């Protein structure tokens, strides 16, 4: 008998839902919250909205927004100090995956102690975390519903993947209106991260019927709405559907985990200051090509989800159509096409391949992979 487990937070979805942040914290028993964000979110005005909501709810609050893309261990340590100094008892994360991942990592340290490096891997957290409310402002990372936090180890120059049930926030608030302040480039980059989440979760060794339905819906929504979302900041239909795609992809990969694209992307992101979605967009077609042999039927399914007419095609041929579609999509929305174009040095491929091989996401990749295989994929993408 197959037994499936599916974990998720309370989810509040819809335009204007960001205004429920303060009340949501109150329901969790919070009195004094740390709000974790980044300069871009502050500039866009969303941090002010959250602070106003907390004030209206009668909550004390402190802000910490020294967070960068590919967030660092030292940022987590600094945020932890702010939390303790201000005697906070709950955490709000508002922003992209970086801010939310840092908020989660701070939650680990303020209750479990030690250094964030101690928690790399699976199920290393032993003590309960403070209440967590997460508000994504990009349709991308899915971190607001996932059991992941990804933090850069600055000494080793690699991304640490931390996976634990404790990292699933108590409440996730997804407001599509927050997507209206993103640039076309960031919309494309984060949207391709959503697509990668959906595809990797669908073909993951840990996929279940519960994750498959979320991954399928996410892939289909990206195929229909990513282009118009990149084209227009004010297309509310596209923004709402991309927010839903991100949410569903997040639920899928949180429970099915991921694969070689993310393992390799983490290795690149630990070394280079690059958008995670940009790296994923380059690697995804090459990894799909490598993994096709492991499950042609599922890759044929992906082609259907993307809207490709595969009637009469064998699974392998249909799966190749899915790869072609993804490649064409990245071109149409202006995503980078080669690692060399975004500054990745060929001399670093061997080292990054070794790092990627040991990333936790590689465990559920559908096809066995060696460091030589990873190197070859990197070289094709370079």
Q: Give the CATH number of the domain where residue 82 resides.
A: 3.40.50.1970
Pick the last residue of a domain from 124, 145, 178.
Answer: 178
Are residues 195 and 276 both part of a single domain?
yes
> Which of the listed residues 136, 158, 178 is the one where a domain comes to its end?
178
| CATH number where 305 lies | 1.20.1090.10
* The pLDDT value given to residue 78: 97
> Closest by alpha carbon to 291, among 279, 299, 282?
299
Q: Within this chain, do residues 89 and 214 fall inside the same structural domain, yes or no?
A: no
pLDDT digits (tens, 9 = 90+) for 190-243: 999 999 999 999 999 999 999 999 999 999 999 999 999 999 999 999 999 999
> Do the domain assignments include residue 212?
yes
Q: How far apart are CA 381 and CA 119, in angstroms?
A: 31
For residues 110-130, give the mean pLDDT.
Answer: 95
Laid out side by side, the sheet with 158-163 consists of: 121-122, 158-163, 148-153
Under 8 Å CB-to-CB from 9, ≥6 apart: which residues? Answer: 134, 144, 145, 168, 169, 170, 171, 172
Choose among 162, 172, 36, 24: nearest CA to 103. 36
Encode 115-150: b = buried (16+ Cβ within 10 Å), e = exposed: ebeebbeeeebeeebbbbbbbbbbbbbbbbbbbbbb
The residue-averaged pLDDT of 315-319 equals 98
Instruction: Identify whether residues 167 and 199 lie together within a single domain.
Output: no
pLDDT-derived band at 3 (thresholds 50, 70, 90) equals confident
Mean pLDDT in residue range 266-277: 94
What is the per-residue pLDDT for 272? 94
Residues 22 and 135 in one domain: yes
Radius of gyration for the alpha carbons in the chain, expressed in angstroms and rounded:
20
Name every residue whose Cβ is closer than 8 Å to that of residue 277 and which is 6 or more positions away in sequence. 140, 188, 189, 190, 191, 192, 193, 196, 335
DSSP one-letter code for 128:
P
Residue 216 lies in a domain: yes
How many residues in the chain?
Answer: 382
Same structural domain, 174 and 186: no
Q: pLDDT band for 154, please (50, 70, 90 cuts).
A: very high
Q: Are residues 278 and 149 in the same domain?
A: no
Decide if 64 is inside a domain.
yes
Query: 225, 257, 243: which is closest to 172 by C-alpha?
Result: 243
pTM > 0.85: yes
Nearest to 33 by CA among 118, 115, 93: 93
Residue 245 domain-assigned (yes or no): yes
Domain count, the chain: 2
One domain for residues 348 and 376: yes
Tokens at 38, concatenated: 């980044």
Average pLDDT over residues 51-78: 96
Separation in Å, CA 167 to CA 66, 83, 352: 21, 17, 27
Q: Are 249 and 201 in contact (CB under 8 A)?
A: yes
> How far apart (Å, rounded) are the C-alpha atoms in residues 73 and 119?
12
**Arithmetic mean of pLDDT, 106-129:** 96
In a domain, 300, yes or no: yes
Give domain status of residue 78, yes or no.
yes
Q: Please give the mean pLDDT across all residues of the chain.
A: 96
Percent of the chain residues topping a pLDDT of 90: 96
Which 8-state DSSP code applies to residue 333? T
CA pair distance 21, 248, nearest whole angstrom? 21
What whole-number percentage of the chain has pLDDT above 70? Answer: 100
| Residue at a domain's end among 152, 178, 204 | 178
Whether residue 333 sits in one domain with residue 230: yes
User: pLDDT digit string (tens) for 351-372?
Assistant: 999 999 999 999 999 999 999 9
Examine the pLDDT at 88 and tell me if it is beyond 80: yes
Indicate whether 198 and 123 sit together in one domain: no
pLDDT at 1 over 90: no
Is 268 a domain residue? Answer: yes
Residue 208 and residue 100 in one domain = no
367 part of a folded domain: yes
Q: How sure is the predictor about 2, in pLDDT bands with cuts at 50, 70 and 90?
A: confident
Largest CA distance in the chain: 65
What span, in angstroms and rounded, lies between the C-alpha atoms of 338 and 281? 9
Closest to 362 measured CA to CA, from 372, 348, 351, 374 = 374
Which domain does 29 fall in, by range? Answer: 10-178
Domain co-membership, 248 together with 232? yes
pLDDT in tens, 157-168: 889 999 999 999
Same domain for 197 and 154, yes or no, is no
pLDDT for 234 equals 94
């Amino acid at each position: 008998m197959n037994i499936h487990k599916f974990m998720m937070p309370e989810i509040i979805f819809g335009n204007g839902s960001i205004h429920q942040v303060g009340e949501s914290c109150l329901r969790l028993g919070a009195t004094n919250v740390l709000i974790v964000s980044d300069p871009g979110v502050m500039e866009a005005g969303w941090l002010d909205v959250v602070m106003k909501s907390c004030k209206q709810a009668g909550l004390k609050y402190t802000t910490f927004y020294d967070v960068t893309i590919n967030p660092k261990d030292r940022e987590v340590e600094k945020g932890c100090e702010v939390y303790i100094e201000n005697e906070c008892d709950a955490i709000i994360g508002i922003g992209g995956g970086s801010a939310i991942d840092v908020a989660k990592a701070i939650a680990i340290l303020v209750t479990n102690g030690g250094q964030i490096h101690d928690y790399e891997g699976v199920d290393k957290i032993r003590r309960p975390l403070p209440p967590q409310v997460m508000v994504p402002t990009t349709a991308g990372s899915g971190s607001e519903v996932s059991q992941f936090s990804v933090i850069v180890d600055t000494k080793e120059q690699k991304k640490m993947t931390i996976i634990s049930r404790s990292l699933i926030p108590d409440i996730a608030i997804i407001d599509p209106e927050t997507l209206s302040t993103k640039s076309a480039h960031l919309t494309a980059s984060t949207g391709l991260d959503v697509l990668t989440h959906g595809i990797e979760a669908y073909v993951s060794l840990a996929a279940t019927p519960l994750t498959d339905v979320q991954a399928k819906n996410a892939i289909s929504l990206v195929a229909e709405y990513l282009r118009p979302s990149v084209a227009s900041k004010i297309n509310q239909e596209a923004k709402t559907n991309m927010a839903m795609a991100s949410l569903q992809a997040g639920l899928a990969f949180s429970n099915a985990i991921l694969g070689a694209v993310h393992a390799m992307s983490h290795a690149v992101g630990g070394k280079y200051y690059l958008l995670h979605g940009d790296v994923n967009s380059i690697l995804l077609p090459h990894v799909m090509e490598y993994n096709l042999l492991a499950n042609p039927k599922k890759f044929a399914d992906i082609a259907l989800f993307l809207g490709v007419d595969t009637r009469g095609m064998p699974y392998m041929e249909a799966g190749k159509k899915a790869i072609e579609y993804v490649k064409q999509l990245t071109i149409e929305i202006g995503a980078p096409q080669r690692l060399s174009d975004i500054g990745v040095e060929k001399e670093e491929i061997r080292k990054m391949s070794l790092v990627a091989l040991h990333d936790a996401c590689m465990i559920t990749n559908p096809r066995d992979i060696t460091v030589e295989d990873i190197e070859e994929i990197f070289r094709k993408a370079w």
